[in-house]
Amino acid sequence: MKAFERSQWLTFLVAVLAMLGVFRAAEVGRAADFTVNGQRFTVPEGFVVELAAGTNLVQRPVSASFAADGRLYVTDSSGSNDKPDQQLKNPTHRILCLEDTNADGRFDTVKVFADKVMFPQGCLWYEGSVYVAAPPSIWKFTDTDGDGVADKREE
């Protein structure tokens, strides 16, 4: 008898969740389509897709993280396909800092925040530093003098 009751409750719960999904879909409204650089995007009504940074600023982006001041830190691959042991000896990847200096919603300047980084697989800005997962390590990069370049590296 308990198994039957549990089955009924599970069925009821699934039905309620399905109905909530239907109602939520009705609230979202009509999707909008945008094309940026030949790529088509479909987003919910009220959302917009715009190009904020192109290949003139970042060649091979891997990951990105916004800082509190609106700057965007982007890990950028060098394109190297050397074996890991060779890349450990001579790391060629970098971290870029993009900035929107005229407040038009598009990044217009780029600065190399840190270079000679092992292949970066993720980044996070947190409390004034950029943390980067670059196996076999996690690095903390900090700009201590405010020039936009990391002058402190901690492994």
User: Rounded to two decimals, what is the model's pTM?
Assistant: 0.72
Q: Compute the distance between CA of residue 110 and CA of residue 76 in angstroms, rounded to an integer.
A: 12
**Does residue 17 carry a pLDDT above 50?**
no
Confidence of residue 143 (pLDDT cuts 50, 70, 90): very high
Contacts with 153 (C-beta within 8 Å, 6 or more apart), sequence order: 114, 139, 140, 141
Q: Compute the distance between CA of residue 51 and CA of residue 13 in angstroms, rounded to an integer.
A: 42
Task: Say if domain 61-154 classifies as CATH 2.40.30.110.
Answer: no
For the chain, percent of residues with pLDDT exceeding 70: 81
**Distance set, CA 145 to CA 65, 123, 141, 150 (Å):** 21, 21, 12, 9
Phi/psi at 139 (nearest 5 deg)? Answer: -110, 150
- Domain residues of the chain, as ranges? 2-43, 61-154
What is the four-CA torsion angle of 58, 59, 62, 64, rounded to 10 degrees? 0
Confidence of residue 73 (pLDDT cuts 50, 70, 90): very high
For 25, what's the count of Cα atoms within 13 Å in the CB-facing half-sphere?
6
**Does residue 111 carry a pLDDT above 90?**
yes
Query: What's the rounded mean pLDDT across residues 75-85?
Result: 83
Phi/psi at 151 (nearest 5 deg)? Answer: -110, 0
